[in-house]
Structure 1
Amino acid sequence: MTLLLLAGTGEAKIIAQALHDKGIKARASLAGVTRAPSPLAIPTDSGGFGGENGFKSYLQTHDIKSVLDATHPFADRISHRSERICREQNIPYCQLLRPAWMPEPGDDWICLDREEEAAAHIPEGAIVFLATGRQTLLRFENLANCTLICRQIDPPDGPFPFPNGRYCIGRPPFSFDDEVSLFKELGVEWLIVKNAGGTIPRTKLEAARHLGIRVIMLNRPAQPDAKRVTTVEEALAWVQNL
Protein backbone atom coordinates (compact mmCIF):
# COMPACT_ATOMS: atom_id res chain seq x y z
CA MET A 1 0.00 0.00 0.00
CA THR A 2 1.52 3.31 -1.12
CA LEU A 3 0.68 6.92 -0.33
CA LEU A 4 0.94 9.50 -3.10
CA LEU A 5 2.19 12.93 -2.06
CA LEU A 6 1.27 15.65 -4.54
CA ALA A 7 4.18 17.97 -3.91
CA GLY A 8 5.45 21.39 -4.96
CA THR A 9 5.48 23.37 -1.70
CA GLY A 10 7.84 23.73 1.22
CA GLU A 11 5.38 21.80 3.35
CA ALA A 12 5.53 18.88 0.91
CA LYS A 13 9.29 18.70 1.28
CA ILE A 14 8.97 18.48 5.07
CA ILE A 15 6.27 15.83 4.77
CA ALA A 16 8.39 13.77 2.36
CA GLN A 17 11.26 13.74 4.84
CA ALA A 18 8.93 12.73 7.67
CA LEU A 19 7.43 9.91 5.59
CA HIS A 20 10.91 8.65 4.83
CA ASP A 21 12.00 8.85 8.46
CA LYS A 22 8.89 6.97 9.64
CA GLY A 23 9.32 4.26 7.04
CA ILE A 24 5.96 4.96 5.43
CA LYS A 25 5.80 3.70 1.85
CA ALA A 26 5.18 6.74 -0.32
CA ARG A 27 5.87 8.36 -3.67
CA ALA A 28 5.83 12.04 -4.59
CA SER A 29 4.77 13.76 -7.78
CA LEU A 30 5.89 17.16 -9.06
CA ALA A 31 4.21 18.99 -11.92
CA GLY A 32 7.60 19.82 -13.44
CA VAL A 33 7.15 23.60 -13.49
CA THR A 34 10.61 24.16 -11.97
CA ARG A 35 13.49 22.74 -13.99
CA ALA A 36 15.74 21.71 -11.10
CA PRO A 37 13.56 21.35 -8.00
CA SER A 38 15.09 20.54 -4.64
CA PRO A 39 15.17 16.75 -4.22
CA LEU A 40 12.63 15.06 -1.96
CA ALA A 41 13.38 12.26 0.48
CA ILE A 42 11.04 9.75 -1.20
CA PRO A 43 10.86 8.44 -4.79
CA THR A 44 9.65 11.29 -6.98
CA ASP A 45 8.10 11.51 -10.43
CA SER A 46 8.18 14.82 -12.29
CA GLY A 47 6.19 16.14 -15.20
CA GLY A 48 2.61 15.46 -14.17
CA PHE A 49 0.43 12.51 -15.11
CA GLY A 50 -0.64 13.33 -18.66
CA GLY A 51 -4.23 14.21 -17.85
CA GLU A 52 -7.09 12.42 -16.15
CA ASN A 53 -6.49 9.00 -17.68
CA GLY A 54 -2.81 9.26 -16.90
CA PHE A 55 -3.59 9.96 -13.26
CA LYS A 56 -5.94 6.98 -13.05
CA SER A 57 -3.30 4.76 -14.61
CA TYR A 58 -0.67 6.04 -12.17
CA LEU A 59 -2.86 5.23 -9.19
CA GLN A 60 -3.31 1.68 -10.43
CA THR A 61 0.29 1.07 -11.54
CA HIS A 62 1.78 2.19 -8.22
CA ASP A 63 -0.94 0.66 -6.02
CA ILE A 64 -1.81 4.05 -4.55
CA LYS A 65 -4.16 3.68 -1.60
CA SER A 66 -4.23 7.28 -0.31
CA VAL A 67 -3.41 10.74 -1.66
CA LEU A 68 -2.07 13.71 0.30
CA ASP A 69 -2.35 16.88 -1.75
CA ALA A 70 0.30 19.43 -0.72
CA THR A 71 0.34 21.40 -3.95
CA HIS A 72 0.24 25.19 -4.26
CA PRO A 73 -3.12 26.82 -3.44
CA PHE A 74 -3.29 28.03 -7.05
CA ALA A 75 -2.83 24.52 -8.47
CA ASP A 76 -6.61 24.26 -8.21
CA ARG A 77 -7.14 22.20 -11.37
CA ILE A 78 -4.82 19.50 -10.06
CA SER A 79 -6.53 19.52 -6.68
CA HIS A 80 -10.05 19.35 -8.09
CA ARG A 81 -9.16 16.53 -10.48
CA SER A 82 -7.30 14.55 -7.84
CA GLU A 83 -10.08 14.85 -5.28
CA ARG A 84 -12.77 13.86 -7.77
CA ILE A 85 -10.93 10.78 -9.06
CA CYS A 86 -10.01 9.69 -5.55
CA ARG A 87 -13.65 10.03 -4.50
CA GLU A 88 -14.79 7.98 -7.49
CA GLN A 89 -12.27 5.25 -6.69
CA ASN A 90 -12.80 5.33 -2.90
CA ILE A 91 -9.20 6.38 -2.29
CA PRO A 92 -8.74 8.53 0.86
CA TYR A 93 -7.77 12.08 -0.12
CA CYS A 94 -6.63 14.98 2.06
CA GLN A 95 -5.59 18.48 1.06
CA LEU A 96 -2.98 20.44 2.99
CA LEU A 97 -3.98 24.05 2.45
CA ARG A 98 -2.05 26.60 4.45
CA PRO A 99 -4.12 29.55 5.73
CA ALA A 100 -4.48 32.51 3.39
CA TRP A 101 -2.68 35.74 4.16
CA MET A 102 -4.70 38.49 5.80
CA PRO A 103 -3.73 42.19 5.76
CA GLU A 104 -2.03 43.53 8.86
CA PRO A 105 -1.71 47.11 10.15
CA GLY A 106 0.31 49.11 7.64
CA ASP A 107 -0.53 46.91 4.66
CA ASP A 108 -2.01 48.61 1.59
CA TRP A 109 -3.72 45.84 -0.37
CA ILE A 110 -6.21 45.68 -3.19
CA CYS A 111 -7.70 42.18 -3.45
CA LEU A 112 -8.70 41.01 -6.94
CA ASP A 113 -9.86 37.78 -8.54
CA ARG A 114 -8.12 38.13 -11.91
CA GLU A 115 -4.73 39.37 -13.08
CA GLU A 116 -6.33 41.42 -15.86
CA GLU A 117 -8.13 43.56 -13.26
CA ALA A 118 -4.86 45.03 -11.94
CA ALA A 119 -4.60 47.56 -14.79
CA ALA A 120 -7.66 49.42 -13.47
CA HIS A 121 -5.80 50.25 -10.24
CA ILE A 122 -2.15 50.81 -11.22
CA PRO A 123 -1.25 54.24 -12.67
CA GLU A 124 0.70 54.70 -15.89
CA GLY A 125 4.46 54.70 -15.51
CA ALA A 126 4.50 52.63 -12.31
CA ILE A 127 7.24 50.08 -11.67
CA VAL A 128 5.44 46.80 -10.99
CA PHE A 129 7.02 43.69 -9.50
CA LEU A 130 5.23 40.50 -10.50
CA ALA A 131 5.72 37.74 -7.94
CA THR A 132 3.15 35.57 -9.70
CA GLY A 133 5.34 33.27 -11.81
CA ARG A 134 5.72 32.97 -15.55
CA GLN A 135 2.65 30.81 -16.19
CA THR A 136 0.23 33.74 -15.88
CA LEU A 137 2.53 36.44 -17.22
CA LEU A 138 0.55 36.98 -20.42
CA ARG A 139 -2.46 38.06 -18.37
CA PHE A 140 -0.65 41.34 -17.58
CA GLU A 141 -0.48 42.45 -21.21
CA ASN A 142 -2.82 45.36 -20.47
CA LEU A 143 -0.18 46.94 -18.18
CA ALA A 144 1.57 48.23 -21.30
CA ASN A 145 2.18 51.68 -19.82
CA CYS A 146 4.05 50.37 -16.79
CA THR A 147 7.47 48.82 -16.22
CA LEU A 148 7.05 45.15 -15.42
CA ILE A 149 9.58 43.01 -13.56
CA CYS A 150 8.68 39.32 -13.33
CA ARG A 151 10.52 37.11 -10.87
CA GLN A 152 10.98 33.47 -11.77
CA ILE A 153 13.14 30.64 -10.51
CA ASP A 154 14.58 29.41 -13.80
CA PRO A 155 16.31 31.48 -16.50
CA PRO A 156 13.82 32.30 -19.28
CA ASP A 157 13.53 30.27 -22.46
CA GLY A 158 13.08 33.42 -24.52
CA PRO A 159 12.75 37.20 -24.32
CA PHE A 160 10.20 38.93 -22.14
CA PRO A 161 6.84 38.84 -23.96
CA PHE A 162 6.29 42.60 -23.70
CA PRO A 163 8.67 45.44 -24.59
CA ASN A 164 8.02 47.14 -21.24
CA GLY A 165 9.34 44.37 -19.00
CA ARG A 166 12.19 42.12 -17.93
CA TYR A 167 12.83 39.05 -15.81
CA CYS A 168 14.37 38.89 -12.36
CA ILE A 169 15.84 35.47 -11.61
CA GLY A 170 15.86 34.23 -8.03
CA ARG A 171 15.34 31.01 -6.10
CA PRO A 172 13.44 31.14 -2.81
CA PRO A 173 13.46 31.40 0.13
CA PHE A 174 13.98 35.18 0.27
CA SER A 175 14.57 36.89 3.60
CA PHE A 176 12.97 40.17 4.61
CA ASP A 177 16.32 41.94 4.12
CA ASP A 178 16.71 40.33 0.68
CA GLU A 179 13.31 41.61 -0.41
CA VAL A 180 13.81 45.11 0.98
CA SER A 181 17.17 45.41 -0.76
CA LEU A 182 15.79 44.12 -4.08
CA PHE A 183 12.70 46.33 -4.06
CA LYS A 184 14.82 49.38 -3.26
CA GLU A 185 17.29 48.56 -6.03
CA LEU A 186 14.52 48.14 -8.60
CA GLY A 187 12.47 51.11 -7.42
CA VAL A 188 9.35 48.95 -7.03
CA GLU A 189 6.11 50.89 -6.52
CA TRP A 190 3.55 48.08 -6.85
CA LEU A 191 3.76 44.41 -5.95
CA ILE A 192 1.41 41.83 -7.46
CA VAL A 193 1.26 38.51 -5.64
CA LYS A 194 -0.95 35.44 -5.38
CA ASN A 195 -2.38 34.71 -1.94
CA ALA A 196 -0.29 31.59 -1.42
CA GLY A 197 -0.17 31.82 2.36
CA GLY A 198 2.73 30.55 4.43
CA THR A 199 5.35 32.17 6.65
CA ILE A 200 8.46 32.25 4.47
CA PRO A 201 6.79 33.58 1.29
CA ARG A 202 5.29 36.43 3.35
CA THR A 203 8.62 38.25 3.56
CA LYS A 204 7.84 40.08 0.31
CA LEU A 205 4.66 41.43 1.89
CA GLU A 206 6.55 42.51 4.99
CA ALA A 207 9.08 44.27 2.77
CA ALA A 208 6.27 46.00 0.86
CA ARG A 209 4.73 47.20 4.13
CA HIS A 210 8.12 48.47 5.33
CA LEU A 211 8.73 50.39 2.10
CA GLY A 212 5.16 51.65 1.59
CA ILE A 213 4.69 49.63 -1.60
CA ARG A 214 1.09 49.05 -2.66
CA VAL A 215 0.03 45.44 -3.18
CA ILE A 216 -2.37 43.75 -5.58
CA MET A 217 -3.36 40.53 -3.82
CA LEU A 218 -4.85 37.88 -6.10
CA ASN A 219 -7.53 35.88 -4.34
CA ARG A 220 -7.33 32.11 -4.26
CA PRO A 221 -9.44 30.03 -6.63
CA ALA A 222 -12.13 27.75 -5.20
CA GLN A 223 -10.75 24.59 -3.61
CA PRO A 224 -12.23 21.08 -3.64
CA ASP A 225 -14.81 20.19 -1.02
CA ALA A 226 -12.76 17.54 0.74
CA LYS A 227 -10.91 16.57 3.89
CA ARG A 228 -8.54 19.44 4.63
CA VAL A 229 -5.76 20.24 7.08
CA THR A 230 -3.70 23.41 7.47
CA THR A 231 -0.39 22.25 8.97
CA VAL A 232 2.28 19.64 8.34
CA GLU A 233 1.57 18.11 11.75
CA GLU A 234 -2.12 17.66 10.92
CA ALA A 235 -1.24 16.15 7.54
CA LEU A 236 1.10 13.59 9.11
CA ALA A 237 -1.52 12.73 11.73
CA TRP A 238 -3.99 12.05 8.92
CA VAL A 239 -1.48 9.73 7.25
CA GLN A 240 -0.80 7.82 10.45
CA ASN A 241 -4.50 7.39 11.16
CA LEU A 242 -5.29 5.80 7.79
Structure 2
Amino acid sequence: MKILILGGTAEARQLANQLMQAGHEVITSLAGRTQDPILPKGGIRMGGFGGVPGLSAYLRAAHIELLVDATHPYAGLISVNAVAAAEISGITLIRLMRPPWTPGGGEDWTILDSAQAAADALPSDARVLLTTGHAGLSTYLERYDCQFFVRLIEAPDLELPRHAELLQMRPPYTLASELALMRRHEISHLISKNSGGGQTSAKLEAARQLGVKVFMLARPIYGPAREVDSVEAALAAIGN
Protein backbone atom coordinates (compact mmCIF):
# COMPACT_ATOMS: atom_id res chain seq x y z
CA MET A 1 0.00 0.00 0.00
CA LYS A 2 1.24 3.50 -0.79
CA ILE A 3 0.86 5.69 2.30
CA LEU A 4 1.41 9.39 2.89
CA ILE A 5 2.19 10.34 6.49
CA LEU A 6 1.85 13.95 7.53
CA GLY A 7 4.67 13.85 10.04
CA GLY A 8 6.93 15.82 12.31
CA THR A 9 6.41 13.82 15.52
CA ALA A 10 8.23 10.90 17.10
CA GLU A 11 5.11 8.80 16.54
CA ALA A 12 5.15 9.63 12.82
CA ARG A 13 8.75 8.46 12.54
CA GLN A 14 8.05 5.24 14.42
CA LEU A 15 5.00 4.53 12.27
CA ALA A 16 6.86 5.17 9.01
CA ASN A 17 9.71 2.90 10.06
CA GLN A 18 7.39 0.05 11.01
CA LEU A 19 5.26 0.41 7.88
CA MET A 20 8.40 0.27 5.74
CA GLN A 21 9.46 -2.91 7.54
CA ALA A 22 6.02 -4.36 6.78
CA GLY A 23 6.57 -3.78 3.07
CA HIS A 24 4.48 -0.66 2.46
CA GLU A 25 5.62 2.26 0.32
CA VAL A 26 5.72 5.24 2.67
CA ILE A 27 6.24 8.95 2.07
CA THR A 28 6.52 11.27 5.07
CA SER A 29 5.69 14.92 4.56
CA LEU A 30 7.46 17.45 6.82
CA ALA A 31 6.65 21.13 7.08
CA GLY A 32 10.35 22.01 7.01
CA ARG A 33 10.32 24.38 9.99
CA THR A 34 12.91 22.45 12.03
CA GLN A 35 16.55 22.41 10.95
CA ASP A 36 18.19 18.99 10.84
CA PRO A 37 15.06 16.99 11.67
CA ILE A 38 15.34 13.33 12.59
CA LEU A 39 14.17 11.60 9.42
CA PRO A 40 12.22 8.34 9.18
CA LYS A 41 12.75 5.58 6.67
CA GLY A 42 11.05 5.86 3.29
CA GLY A 43 10.42 8.83 1.05
CA ILE A 44 10.55 12.39 2.36
CA ARG A 45 8.63 15.42 1.12
CA MET A 46 9.44 18.86 2.52
CA GLY A 47 7.23 21.95 2.58
CA GLY A 48 3.56 22.80 2.29
CA PHE A 49 1.04 21.57 -0.25
CA GLY A 50 -0.84 24.76 -1.03
CA GLY A 51 -4.02 24.14 0.93
CA VAL A 52 -6.74 21.60 0.24
CA PRO A 53 -6.45 21.84 -3.59
CA GLY A 54 -2.71 21.22 -3.47
CA LEU A 55 -2.94 18.32 -1.05
CA SER A 56 -5.80 16.74 -3.01
CA ALA A 57 -3.84 17.06 -6.25
CA TYR A 58 -0.78 15.49 -4.64
CA LEU A 59 -2.77 12.55 -3.28
CA ARG A 60 -4.11 11.84 -6.77
CA ALA A 61 -0.87 12.45 -8.66
CA ALA A 62 1.19 10.29 -6.28
CA HIS A 63 -1.48 7.54 -6.24
CA ILE A 64 -1.69 7.65 -2.45
CA GLU A 65 -3.97 4.92 -1.07
CA LEU A 66 -4.02 5.95 2.59
CA LEU A 67 -3.43 9.27 4.36
CA VAL A 68 -2.17 9.35 7.96
CA ASP A 69 -2.19 12.60 9.89
CA ALA A 70 0.48 12.13 12.55
CA THR A 71 1.31 15.80 13.00
CA HIS A 72 1.61 17.62 16.31
CA PRO A 73 -1.76 18.08 18.06
CA TYR A 74 -1.39 21.84 17.45
CA ALA A 75 -0.22 21.62 13.83
CA GLY A 76 -3.35 23.52 12.90
CA LEU A 77 -4.41 24.03 9.31
CA ILE A 78 -2.77 20.94 7.83
CA SER A 79 -4.96 18.69 10.00
CA VAL A 80 -8.06 20.57 8.89
CA ASN A 81 -6.95 20.35 5.26
CA ALA A 82 -6.25 16.62 5.59
CA VAL A 83 -9.93 15.95 6.39
CA ALA A 84 -11.16 17.83 3.33
CA ALA A 85 -8.47 16.49 0.97
CA ALA A 86 -9.11 12.87 1.96
CA GLU A 87 -12.83 13.31 1.35
CA ILE A 88 -12.26 14.94 -2.03
CA SER A 89 -9.76 12.26 -3.05
CA GLY A 90 -11.89 9.40 -1.79
CA ILE A 91 -9.20 7.86 0.41
CA THR A 92 -9.19 6.88 4.06
CA LEU A 93 -7.74 9.26 6.64
CA ILE A 94 -6.33 7.96 9.91
CA ARG A 95 -5.42 10.54 12.54
CA LEU A 96 -2.72 9.48 15.00
CA MET A 97 -3.19 11.82 17.95
CA ARG A 98 -1.41 11.16 21.23
CA PRO A 99 -3.68 11.38 24.29
CA PRO A 100 -3.74 14.75 26.06
CA TRP A 101 -2.32 15.27 29.51
CA THR A 102 -4.84 15.44 32.32
CA PRO A 103 -4.33 17.04 35.74
CA GLY A 104 -4.12 14.73 38.71
CA GLY A 105 -4.01 15.55 42.37
CA GLY A 106 -2.19 18.70 43.43
CA GLU A 107 -1.84 20.40 40.04
CA ASP A 108 -2.87 24.02 39.63
CA TRP A 109 -4.12 24.17 36.03
CA THR A 110 -6.11 26.82 34.19
CA ILE A 111 -7.40 25.76 30.75
CA LEU A 112 -7.39 28.59 28.20
CA ASP A 113 -8.36 28.65 24.54
CA SER A 114 -5.81 31.07 23.07
CA ALA A 115 -2.46 32.77 23.53
CA GLN A 116 -4.27 36.06 24.07
CA ALA A 117 -6.35 34.58 26.88
CA ALA A 118 -3.26 33.16 28.55
CA ALA A 119 -1.34 36.42 28.23
CA ASP A 120 -4.28 38.38 29.66
CA ALA A 121 -4.55 36.01 32.64
CA LEU A 122 -0.97 36.51 33.80
CA PRO A 123 -0.55 38.64 36.92
CA SER A 124 1.96 41.49 36.98
CA ASP A 125 5.53 40.42 37.78
CA ALA A 126 4.88 36.80 36.72
CA ARG A 127 8.00 34.83 35.86
CA VAL A 128 6.88 32.63 32.99
CA LEU A 129 8.34 29.51 31.42
CA LEU A 130 6.83 29.69 27.93
CA THR A 131 6.82 26.33 26.10
CA THR A 132 4.24 26.94 23.37
CA GLY A 133 6.59 27.28 20.40
CA HIS A 134 6.77 30.16 17.94
CA ALA A 135 3.04 30.66 17.47
CA GLY A 136 1.66 33.54 19.52
CA LEU A 137 5.07 34.58 20.85
CA SER A 138 4.57 38.27 20.10
CA THR A 139 1.24 38.17 21.96
CA TYR A 140 2.89 37.05 25.18
CA LEU A 141 5.74 39.51 24.86
CA GLU A 142 3.30 42.42 24.90
CA ARG A 143 3.13 41.81 28.65
CA TYR A 144 6.07 44.06 29.52
CA ASP A 145 5.26 43.71 33.23
CA CYS A 146 6.20 40.00 33.18
CA GLN A 147 9.49 38.16 32.71
CA PHE A 148 9.51 35.37 30.08
CA PHE A 149 11.83 32.43 29.62
CA VAL A 150 11.08 31.26 26.10
CA ARG A 151 11.99 27.62 25.42
CA LEU A 152 12.35 26.79 21.73
CA ILE A 153 14.15 24.25 19.56
CA GLU A 154 14.88 26.89 16.91
CA ALA A 155 15.61 30.56 17.63
CA PRO A 156 12.66 32.85 16.79
CA ASP A 157 12.69 35.25 13.84
CA LEU A 158 11.91 38.21 16.07
CA GLU A 159 14.46 39.75 18.44
CA LEU A 160 13.48 39.09 22.02
CA PRO A 161 12.99 42.17 24.20
CA ARG A 162 14.72 42.79 27.52
CA HIS A 163 11.95 41.10 29.50
CA ALA A 164 12.45 37.78 27.65
CA GLU A 165 15.28 35.25 27.63
CA LEU A 166 15.71 32.49 25.04
CA LEU A 167 16.23 28.95 26.30
CA GLN A 168 17.19 27.07 23.13
CA MET A 169 17.09 23.33 23.75
CA ARG A 170 15.58 20.14 22.41
CA PRO A 171 13.49 17.50 24.25
CA PRO A 172 13.29 15.08 25.94
CA TYR A 173 13.58 16.79 29.33
CA THR A 174 14.05 15.06 32.67
CA LEU A 175 12.28 15.86 35.92
CA ALA A 176 15.59 16.79 37.51
CA SER A 177 16.45 19.26 34.75
CA GLU A 178 12.96 20.79 34.81
CA LEU A 179 13.07 21.24 38.56
CA ALA A 180 16.50 22.85 38.29
CA LEU A 181 15.39 25.19 35.50
CA MET A 182 12.28 26.36 37.34
CA ARG A 183 14.19 26.92 40.56
CA ARG A 184 17.02 28.75 38.81
CA HIS A 185 14.67 31.18 37.09
CA GLU A 186 12.18 31.37 39.99
CA ILE A 187 9.32 30.41 37.67
CA SER A 188 5.83 31.31 38.91
CA HIS A 189 3.84 30.30 35.81
CA LEU A 190 4.18 27.65 33.09
CA ILE A 191 2.37 28.17 29.79
CA SER A 192 2.06 24.98 27.75
CA LYS A 193 0.19 23.39 24.90
CA ASN A 194 -1.48 20.09 25.81
CA SER A 195 0.81 18.13 23.52
CA GLY A 196 0.62 14.83 25.40
CA GLY A 197 3.38 12.24 25.28
CA GLY A 198 6.35 11.69 27.53
CA GLN A 199 9.14 13.80 26.02
CA THR A 200 8.00 17.08 27.60
CA SER A 201 5.68 15.92 30.39
CA ALA A 202 8.30 16.30 33.15
CA LYS A 203 7.63 20.04 33.27
CA LEU A 204 4.13 19.33 34.62
CA GLU A 205 5.41 17.23 37.50
CA ALA A 206 8.06 19.84 38.22
CA ALA A 207 5.38 22.52 38.27
CA ARG A 208 3.28 20.42 40.65
CA GLN A 209 6.17 19.86 43.04
CA LEU A 210 7.14 23.53 43.08
CA GLY A 211 3.64 24.99 43.18
CA VAL A 212 3.99 26.64 39.76
CA LYS A 213 0.69 27.65 38.18
CA VAL A 214 0.03 26.00 34.79
CA PHE A 215 -1.80 27.77 31.98
CA MET A 216 -2.73 24.98 29.54
CA LEU A 217 -3.84 25.87 26.03
CA ALA A 218 -6.74 23.69 24.89
CA ARG A 219 -6.34 21.58 21.78
CA PRO A 220 -7.88 22.70 18.47
CA ILE A 221 -10.94 20.88 17.18
CA TYR A 222 -10.40 19.14 13.85
CA GLY A 223 -12.89 17.53 11.51
CA PRO A 224 -13.97 13.88 11.57
CA ALA A 225 -11.43 11.13 10.99
CA ARG A 226 -10.71 7.65 12.24
CA GLU A 227 -8.59 8.60 15.27
CA VAL A 228 -6.11 6.39 17.10
CA ASP A 229 -3.90 7.24 20.05
CA SER A 230 -0.76 5.16 19.51
CA VAL A 231 1.54 3.77 16.85
CA GLU A 232 0.33 0.26 17.70
CA ALA A 233 -3.31 1.31 17.23
CA ALA A 234 -2.43 2.94 13.91
CA LEU A 235 -0.75 -0.23 12.69
CA ALA A 236 -3.81 -2.23 13.69
CA ALA A 237 -6.12 0.18 11.87
CA ILE A 238 -3.96 -0.05 8.74
CA GLY A 239 -3.94 -3.82 8.98
CA ASN A 240 -0.46 -4.69 10.21
TM-score tier (shorter): over 0.9
1:128 matched to which residue of 2?
Answer: 128
1:192 matched to which residue of 2?
Answer: 191
1:202 Cα deviation after fit: 1.1
1:152 Cα deviation after fit: 0.8
Give per-residue Cα distances to partners, 1:125-148, cap 9 Å, x unaligned: 111111000122122144221011
CA distance in 2, matches of 1:182, 1:126: 16
CA RMSD across the alignment: 1.6
Alignment of 1:104 onto 2:104: yes
Equivalent pairs, count: 240
CA distance in 1, matches of 2:16, 2:181: 32
Q: What TM-score do the two structures reach when normalised by structure 1?
A: 0.93
2:166 matched to which residue of 1?
Answer: 167
| Contact 2:141–2:164 under 8 Å retained in 1 | no
Give per-residue Cα distances to partners, 1:24-71, cap 9 Å, x unaligned: 111000111212211111211122223333212321232111101111
Percent identity of the aligned residues?
38
2:8 matched to which residue of 1?
Answer: 8
Report the residue type matching 1:15 in the other structure: L
CA distance in 2, matches of 1:64, 1:8: 19
CA distance in 1, matches of 2:73, 2:103: 18
Gaps of 5+ in 1: none
Report the residue type matching 2:95 in the other structure: Q
CA distance in 2, matches of 1:178, 1:151: 13
1:200 Cα deviation after fit: 2.5
1:113 matched to which residue of 2?
Answer: 113
| Contact 1:76–1:222 under 8 Å retained in 2 | no
1:48 matched to which residue of 2?
Answer: 48
Between stretches 53-62 and 94-103, larger displacement belongs to: 53-62
Q: What TM-score do the two structures reach when normalised by structure 2?
A: 0.94
Report the residue type matching 1:209 in the other structure: R
Give per-residue Cα distances to partners, 1:95-148, cap 9 Å, x unaligned: 011111111111111111011112343221111111000122122144221011
Structure 2 CA distance for partners of 1:164 and 1:132, relative to 1, 3 Å: same
1:220 matched to which residue of 2?
Answer: 219
CA distance in 1, matches of 2:168, 2:72: 20
CA distance in 2, matches of 1:61, 1:14: 26
2:234 matched to which residue of 1?
Answer: 235
